[in-house]
Amino acid sequence: MTAQEQPELKYKRILLKLGGESLMGRRSHGVDPEATLRIAREISEIQAMGAEIAIVVGGGNIFRGMAAAAKGMDRGTADYMGMLATLMNALALHDAFSKIHVPVRVQSAINAPQVAEPYIRQKAIRHMEKGRIVILASGVGSPYFTTDTAAALRAVEIGAEAILKATKVDGIYTKDPKKHADAIKYHKVSYDQALKDKLRVMDMTAFAMCRDNHMPVIVFDFFTPGNLKKVVHGKKIGTVVY
């Protein structure tokens, strides 16, 4: 298919929210370079079609701040450690994109000039306009906020058309589909209904920010090859929260 024959993108500027666990591959923790490279290749396909992409990646494969706080660590300290874990994951993704010659920049909400640019909204937008993928690390730079909240905030700031939340399931269900055979999938759900039905889409701070700024969130199975491409073209994949 030639460039002229490519279908039009429904979502040209997106924020992709990746869990840190997506970088583990088959490992129990840490980063699997092969899995990270597969992710980079999948994302590079939509970048080549003209999508403007920002990525927020979690740090759960390395460190979980809330879990550590629950075991007695100071919450603020634990959250800062979690932010550093997201920066490590951002650097791993940067390495993977560089290996396949995709232009990429890492911006961090925590000052780390040796390895990342500081997060500057206008500079992030300019990078995307020039065809560079921007990886936004270190959450919002303050404790007590999750990477879901960072994704919501950054998506609004950069003028993203949607947040694509990459998961291992194909959408939002009434119950856990792995435990309940009668679980029903939502194809579309309003923010109000998600609140009423107590659907765990994001944490409440992130959810409220998306609702107040009319930011759609698409929850989809990122690990089925080709799904990311289908989402940006507007195909009915996953669940749309609107």
60 labeled binding residue: yes
182 labeled binding residue: no
140 labeled binding residue: yes
174 labeled binding residue: no
143 labeled binding residue: yes
Pairing status of strand 239-241 against strand 217-221: antiparallel
**CA pair distance 242, 190, nearest whole angstrom:** 5
79 labeled binding residue: yes
CB atoms within 10 A of CB 229: 17
**CA pair distance 119, 186, nearest whole angstrom:** 35
211 labeled binding residue: no
241 labeled binding residue: no
Residue ranges of alpha helices (H) inside the chain are 33-48, 65-70, 75-99, 121-129, 147-158, 191-196, 204-212, 227-232
28 labeled binding residue: no
Task: Point out which residues pair with 118 in neighbouring strands.
Answer: 108
20 labeled binding residue: yes
176 labeled binding residue: yes
From residue 186, give the alpha-carbon distance in Å to each of 16, 30, 95.
20, 32, 36
18 labeled binding residue: yes
239 labeled binding residue: no
Binding-site residue positions for ATP: 17-20, 60, 64, 167, 173, 176
Binding-site residue positions for UMP: 59, 79, 140-147
Binding-site residue positions: 17-20, 59-60, 64, 79, 140-147, 167, 173, 176
